[in-house]
Structure 1
Amino acid sequence: MPDSAVDDEPKVRVHRLAEQVADHIRGRIIRGDFADGDPLPKSEELIRRYPVSMPTFREAMRILEAEGLITVRRGRLGGAIVHRPSPANLGYNLGLVLAAQRAGIGDVAVALRHVEPACAALCAARRDRARTVVPRLRELHDEYLASIDDLPAVVGVSRRFHEALVSLCGNPPLIVLAGALEALWSSHEESWASRTEPHGVPLSKRQASGEVHGKILELIEAGEAEAVHQLVASHLATAQRNPKPASDPAIDLTLVRELMQPPGAAADS
């Protein structure tokens, strides 16, 4: 009806203006004008830059917050904190989709057994691997050996080693997609490690995994792409034991949300 169309016009206009403001701020975040964890300029400064009403500005902030690009803190110390897009963010959204399809954490493990070896092979094929890949993997391997007596700590380092095989592969689509899978798996395995008995994984098995990590590092350093692909695939087939599918099949999105949540994000005042 004509009357309702007239009544809806201001709302439509506000929404479009809010989207334009959100589009511009989003573009600045993606371009890197703001680093992860940086505060956005104060609302007063942003409104001077984007001359819109306060309701329109708040709608723009809600759009960006719903996308996970900012966290709005309210109160005396309020403001908006920037979160640059990351595989962990995608991991949460991927987890939502998989949960809706009744996929379990075991399905995530199977997917990683296919994509992570490919990432490791790409690491070995990088011409600049001695500068960009090997130092970080060696650092993590040394940290693994130093933490081997502490189960939660060594599991956390192990997960960072496997995540690094993805993040250092040099292929942006694989880094994002496989990184999202890694985020899902890491959240579950690290949660398991924090809840299990200190000797839930015997020291001998931790040492064996450390030896495999060392061999993976050697093969990548030598540029042996096919060999490292095979080794990572076989290693994952035996190492992905926790949480056990029979006892904990579901993807726990609470764990993923905690993994991707920035420190202090929930501390509204």
Structure 2
Amino acid sequence: MEPRVRVHRLAEQVADRIRAQIISGDLADGDPLPKSEELSRRYPVSLPTLREAMRILEAEGLITVRRGRLGGAVVHRPSPANLGYNLGLVLAAQHADIGDVAVALRHVEPACAALCASRPDRAQTVVPRLRELHEEYLASIADLPTVVGVSRRFHEALVGLCGNPPLIVLAGALEALWSSHEESWASRTEPRRVPLTQRRESGEVHGRILTLIEAGDPAAVHQLVAAHLASAQRNPKPAGSPTIDLTLLRELMQPSGEASDPG
């Protein structure tokens, strides 16, 4: 067993070095990893050890690997979607469902929105992005799948712009789980089931959220976002089982051009 233990430890050391480069930004999101020959020169280990290191990084979501003659590995910076996938695994093992995710969001997203309203630099960092998304929402209101996607980006922005990194990551993971289910629901739903009046009402609430953030009123925006989520989360209504479907999130995480085992 000792040779196998040693191979695994060497593979972890190689994975540790590449992971550090990804986290530091030396390897940027979307960068290709060098081919196996170059990696072998940088890290003088056997090919099986190198492949084991790649499997570790791929399991962590830090690279995507495509086998074959045109294969290679592409870097992915850690993201809330990665955490959302792992969170979904844990929740599924605890028999939680997408409704539980919705309840959690009703507690954490209003706190993020309140932090957005508390930012002294909100006029430069928060308001322009929310206004852009709000205008895009109004422009695409006739197309249900499109407007649901824009709405999700508006809510994700309330989290992503709150200015608190731990909350951004944790709430962002919940948002990623919910968004994957809601966008899948929207793509399968007849537009008449969500009438234009309902979409306009949601757009009006988004506009009021934007106004309260711009005015710097965290208490009022917390209350409004909580009420809005309680109403808006009528969708998606699970067809059959409300079980968390991790394949939906994996599809959102999948890059347009995947990659695999160096070699």
TM-score bracket, normalised by the shorter chain, equals over 0.9
- Aligned partner of 1:88 among 81, 87, 104: 81
Residue by residue, what CA displacement relative to the aligned partner does 1:21-71 show, whole Å, maximum 9, x if unpaired? 000000000111122121112221111111111111111111111111111
Measured in 2, the distance between the counterparts of 1:218 and 1:224 equals 9
- Aligned-residue RMSD, C-alpha: 1.4
> Shift of residue 222 of structure 1?
0.8
Q: Which runs of 5 or more residues in structure 1 are unaligned?
A: 1-7
> Shift of residue 267 of structure 1?
9.4
Deviates further, 93-102 or 145-154: 93-102
Point out 4+ residue stretches in structure 1 off by more than 6 angstroms: none
Q: Which runs of 5 or more residues in structure 2 are unaligned?
A: none
DSSP 3-state at the match of 2:21: helix
Equivalent residue, structure 2, for 1:143:
136
Measured in 2, the distance between the counterparts of 1:149 and 1:35 equals 37
Equivalent residue, structure 2, for 1:258:
251
Q: Please give the TM-score of this superposition, normalised by the length of structure 2.
A: 0.96
- Aligned partner of 1:195 among 159, 182, 188: 188
Q: Does 2:174 align with 1:181?
A: yes
DSSP 3-state at the match of 2:193: coil
Deviates further, 55-64 or 139-148: 55-64
Measured in 1, the distance between the counterparts of 2:187 and 2:42 equals 47
Amino acid of the structure 1 residue aligned with 2:243: A
DSSP 3-state at the match of 2:183: helix
Equivalent residue, structure 1, for 2:147:
154
Equivalent residue, structure 2, for 1:66:
59
Measured in 2, the distance between the counterparts of 1:192 and 1:109 equals 14
Measured in 2, the distance between the counterparts of 1:248 and 1:138 equals 36
Q: Please give the TM-score of this superposition, normalised by the length of structure 1.
A: 0.94
Equivalent residue, structure 2, for 1:24:
17
Amino acid of the structure 2 residue aligned with 1:36: D
> For this pair of structures, how many residues does the alignment match?
261
Deviates further, 258-267 or 75-84: 258-267
Amino acid of the structure 2 residue aligned with 1:115: V
DSSP 3-state at the match of 2:191: coil
> Shift of residue 262 of structure 1?
1.3
Distance verdict in 2 for CA 1:58–1:266, change over 3 Å: closer
- Aligned partner of 1:236 among 229, 238, 257: 229
Partners of 1:122 and 1:170 within 8 A in 2 = yes
Q: Does 2:213 align with 1:220?
A: yes
Equivalent residue, structure 2, for 1:117:
110
Equivalent residue, structure 2, for 1:36:
29
Measured in 2, the distance between the counterparts of 1:149 and 1:159 equals 16
Q: Does 2:64 align with 1:49?
A: no
DSSP 3-state at the match of 2:112: helix
Partners of 1:92 and 1:184 within 8 A in 2 = yes
Amino acid of the structure 2 residue aligned with 1:140: L
Instruction: Name the structure, 1 or 2, with higher relative contact order (CA <8 Å, separation 6+).
Output: 2
Partners of 1:106 and 1:245 within 8 A in 2 = no
Amino acid of the structure 2 residue aligned with 1:130: A
Measured in 1, the distance between the counterparts of 2:254 and 2:56 equals 18
> Shift of residue 257 of structure 1?
1.0
Q: Does 2:96 align with 1:103?
A: yes
DSSP 3-state at the match of 2:73: strand
Q: Percent identity?
A: 85
Residue by residue, what CA displacement relative to the aligned partner does 1:147-184 show, whole Å, maximum 9, x if unpaired? 00000000000000000000000111110110000001
Larger radius of gyration: 1
Partners of 2:159 and 2:171 within 8 A in 1 = yes
Measured in 1, the distance between the counterparts of 2:194 and 2:66 equals 41
- 1:157-168 paired onto structure 2 within 5 Å: 157-168=150-161
